[in-house]
């Protein structure tokens, strides 16, 4: 019996891991229908995270060799640092996230975490070290407790509640007809955009990864909800290395560093204040966005 159940358990774990990775990344990067053709090298060791320094070392990449998307990008995100990537649509921001998660391999240069090339470590250890808060959290047709516990297999109810508290969704959950046992998802209670995002944050907090990859929501949340989600995300990033892919500038003001990407190259880098003072592309994007938001 043991001989049969052991491999089945193992397969179950592998399946969960793959599904988790796809769920994490799916909405973020539209990859559910695109399985990665990237594999562990035989005998690859697990990633050993010390501080969580992420290093892009002259990274080049193109989905199609004839069309480079990232060109010679060098970027070091120190342990515990928060870096936001901004830039026009199509400049390659999300592509950096996909490479970090190793959905694709770089075509030139290297991407390292604490000095280890992501191609040389197991994918499961890499995925275990990176928490993704996607634009739109995918909910399963199950209880809200299950949906949060998905962040870490075997999490206790107390741990689920602690994560929900930290994501400030605990009180909302208690107000539901069956509390944590309320069914959500397509066939259950529909959650709002902000509530779903909080479930995503709680899931990630439960996973407790040293590195966070945030894909800022482009979907419209009301200003107050957005502000409070930003607060939760900022708190979630405490003590972690954070890479934010930002589609709006209002949310990157507090980042330790902002990197401006254009046509796959880093064209400016600095704090919000430094970039404004420089009067370059970022400053122009900022005043353009201010002008648009003032009109609304
Ligand atoms: P946005 O702010 O609009 O999300 P982005 O800066 O995140 O844009 P990416 O998603 O990184 O941009 O895309 C960069 C370029 O790569 C785009 O021109 C896009 O069309 C192309 N691209 C993205 N995914 C793929 C893919 N799977 N296959 C081929 N090309 C792709």
241 lines ligand 1 (CB under 6 A): no
Residue whose Cα lies nearest atom 17 of ligand 1: it is: 90
Measured CA to CA, the distance from residue 104 to residue 94 in angstroms comes to 12
pLDDT value at position 48?
97
Average pLDDT, the chain: 86
Please say if the pLDDT value at position 153 is more than 80: yes
Please identify which residue in the block is written with the tokens 């970022």.
282
186 Cβ contact partners less than 8 Å away, ≥ 6 residues apart: 139, 141
Distance 263 CA to ligand 1 centre (A): 11
Hey, what are 113's tokens? 């975490």
Is the ipTM value over 0.95, yes or no? yes
91 lines ligand 1 (CB under 6 A): yes
pLDDT digits 0-9 by tens, 158-217: 999 999 999 999 999 999 999 999 999 888 889 988 899 899 999 999 999 999 999 876
Residue whose Cα lies nearest atom 30 of ligand 1: it is: 63
Hey, what are 200's tokens? 């995503």
217 versus 126: which is more confidently predicted?
A: 126
Please say if the pLDDT value at position 34 is more than 80: no
Q: How would you classify the pairing of strands 241-245 and 265-270? A: unpaired
37 versus 75: which is more confidently predicted?
A: 75
pLDDT value at position 296?
39
Measured CA to CA, the distance from residue 104 to residue 100 in angstroms comes to 9
Atom of ligand 1 nearest to the CA of 97: 11
90 lines ligand 1 (CB under 6 A): yes
Distance 91 CA to ligand 1 centre (A): 7
């Amino acid at each position: 019996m043991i001989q049969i159940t052991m491999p089945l358990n193992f397969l179950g774990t592998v399946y969960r891991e793959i599904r988790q990775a796809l769920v994490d990344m799916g909405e973020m990067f539209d990859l559910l229908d695109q399985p990665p053709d990237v594999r562990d090298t035989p005998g690859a060791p697990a990633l050993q995270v010390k501080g969580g320094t992420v290093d892009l070392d002259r990274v080049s990449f193109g989905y199609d060799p004839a069309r480079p998307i990232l060109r010679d990008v060098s970027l070091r995100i120190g342990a515990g640092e928060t870096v936001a990537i901004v830039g026009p649509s199509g400049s390659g921001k999300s592509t950096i996230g996909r490479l970090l998660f190793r959905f694709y391999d770089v075509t030139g240069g290297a991407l390292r975490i604490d000095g280890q090339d992501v191609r040389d470590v197991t994918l499961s250890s890499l995925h275990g070290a990176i928490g993704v808060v996607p634009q739109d959290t995918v909910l399963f047709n199950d209880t809200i407790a299950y949906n949060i516990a998905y962040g870490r297999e075997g999490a206790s109810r107390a741990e689920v509640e602690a994560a929900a508290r930290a994501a400030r969704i605990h009180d909302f959950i208690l107000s539901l007809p069956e509390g944590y046992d309320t069914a959500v998802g397509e066939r259950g209670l529909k959650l709002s955009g902000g509530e779903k995002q909080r479930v995503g944050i709680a899931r990630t907090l439960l996973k407790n990864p040293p590195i966070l990859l945030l894909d800022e929501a482009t979907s419209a949340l009301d200003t107050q909800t957005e502000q409070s989600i930003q607060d939760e995300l900022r708190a979630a990033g405490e003590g972690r290395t954070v890479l934010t892919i930002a589609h709006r500038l209002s949310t990157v003001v507090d980042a330790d560093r902002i990197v401006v990407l254009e046509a796959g190259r880093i064209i400016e880098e600095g704090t919000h204040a430094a970039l404004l003072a420089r009067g370059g592309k970022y400053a122009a994007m900022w005043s353009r966005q201010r002008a648009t938001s003032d009109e609304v």
